[in-house]
Amino acid sequence: MIFKNMIDMQLMMFLLVGIGFFIRKKGIVNTEGRMNMIDLCLHITLPFNVLHSFLRKWDWNLFIACGVILLLSVGFNAISVFFSAILYKKQEANRQKSLKYGTIISNSGFLGNPMVEGIYGSEGLLYAALFMLPVRIVMWTIGIAVFLKGRKEKLWKNVLTHPCIVAIYAGVIIMVCGIQFPTFVEKTIVGISGCNTPLSMMLVGMMLAEVKPKGLIDKTMVFYTAIRLLIIPAVVFAITAFLPIDGTLRGITVIMAGMPAPITTALLSAKYGGDEKYATGMIFLSTILSLITLPLWCLVL
């Protein structure tokens, strides 16, 4: 059942990509329209998706376990940032942005949560949501800083005022203070959040429609995929093996670390001067190969 749920999730992603590919090939959306949709995704649907992840009741009885999973998440992010800093130095600048970002951030938010729920149940889903808090902060600080250029003061101003970072500020306050919205407000947040995954994946399909397949996959992309799907989770697995932590928390950390490249790699590359075509190839290749590596990690755990 767990394997089937994971395969269904990834096949849904590929189907959405195929729909986006069809839309762009048929000219239903042109390049300008696609860029406008990227802005819609980055400034509206994605921030609402981030905010939605915080709409949950905080249970202080799980404080210690939650603290442990947060520390594990911080450790995972540190490992990812380290690999990003030492690799890809010889790559051209625009391609380097996509590779670094895709190494720092994985697709743990979309693919990781349902997989963890399928393996560890509702308690595991709570831990996975908490694991994502540092990930989202790194995603919209260090991650987006990879793409932004200019003076340091301006860069951090842009990062700290990004809609997704503002959504994190608001989300933490909402969750910790136990703020409850009227039903119509909560349904609006949930509704817009639900648009994020279909819109993002269709945008990836539209980008693929503009890419020439020849030469898309190269040795560096294969190397990146190995780092993202095998090396980083292997390092996390080895380190956590020596820590006196619950097996569930260890398993969640390794699974989240072994996710493929996130959809935002292509979106941010298109928005901030990265190589969006190369980023799209990174997502495509790593997601396909994750159909093999993720079940293997589940078996190892």
For position 116, what pLDDT does the model report? 76
69-120 per-position pLDDT tens digit: 889 999 999 999 999 989 888 888 788 888 999 999 888 766 676 677 667 7
Tell me the CATH number for domain 2-300.
1.20.1530.20
265-295 per-position pLDDT tens digit: 888 888 787 788 888 888 888 888 887 888 8
Contact 50, 167 (CB under 8 A): yes
Reduced to 3 states (helix: H, G, I; strand: E, B; else coil), residue 106 is coil
Instruction: Write out the DSSP string of 2-68.
Output: HHHHHHHHHHHHHHHHHHHHHHHHTTSS-HHHHHHHHHHIIIIIHHHHHHHTT-S---GGGHHHHHH
* Secondary structure of 166-198 as H, E, C letters: HHHHHHHHHHHHCCCCCHHHHHHHHHHHHHHHH
Residue 215, φ and ψ in degrees, nearest 5: 80, 5
For position 78, what pLDDT does the model report? 94
The yes-or-no verdict on residue 226 having pLDDT over 70 is yes
The yes-or-no verdict on residue 173 having pLDDT over 90 is no
Distances, alpha carbon 36 to alpha carbons 33, 66, 85, 258, in Å: 5, 39, 31, 32
Domain ranges of the chain: 2-300
The yes-or-no verdict on residue 151 having pLDDT over 60 is no
Structure pTM?
0.76
Give the chain's end-to-end CA distance (angstroms, integer): 16
Sign, CA dihedral 283-164-270-193, equals positive
Burial of 34 (0-12, 13-18, 19+ CB in 10 A): buried
C-alpha–C-alpha distance, residues 207 and 278, integer Å? 10
Task: Name the CA dihedral angle for 56, 59, 62, 68, rounded to a multiple of 10 degrees.
Answer: 50
Residues 31-44 have a mean pLDDT of: 85
Alpha helices in 151-275 (DSSP H): 152-160, 163-177, 183-209, 219-226, 232-240, 247-257, 264-272
The yes-or-no verdict on residue 16 having pLDDT over 60 is yes
pLDDT tier, 198 (very low <50, low <70, confident <90, very high otherwise): confident
**Torsion region of 245: left, alpha or beta (phi above 0 gives left; psi -120 to 50 gives alpha):** beta
